[in-house]
Amino acid sequence: MEGNIVEAATILGKLIGAGLAMIGVIGGGIGIGVVSGGAVQAMGRNPDFSGTIQTNMILGIAFAEATAIYALVVALLILFVF
């Protein structure tokens, strides 16, 4: 009986830890929204530089997405490795 309680607590701890690690994905989503919104406004104000703005937007989205991927990797490590 005691072993089952310890095992259940360990599994619950892993799930809570993975859920808390996924909070970092919120920052990636907000960052992507801010970058995309700023790029659309900039392209609307100055259509001549759309190519340059779009290139910078894609780089900004990639960097914002990287933080979300790091949070996902940490959550998966918590679930399956520890």
Residues of the chain falling short of pLDDT 50: none
> Residue 10: which CATH number?
1.20.20.10
Confirm whether pTM is higher than 0.85. Answer: no
> What range defines the domain where residue 46 resides?
2-80
pLDDT of residue 34: 93
pLDDT of residue 9: 84
Q: Number of C-alpha atoms within 13 angstroms, CB side, residue 67?
A: 14
Provide the number of structural domains found in the chain: 1
Beta-carbon contacts of residue 63 (< 8 Å; ≥ 6 apart): 31
pLDDT of residue 3: 66
pLDDT of residue 2: 65
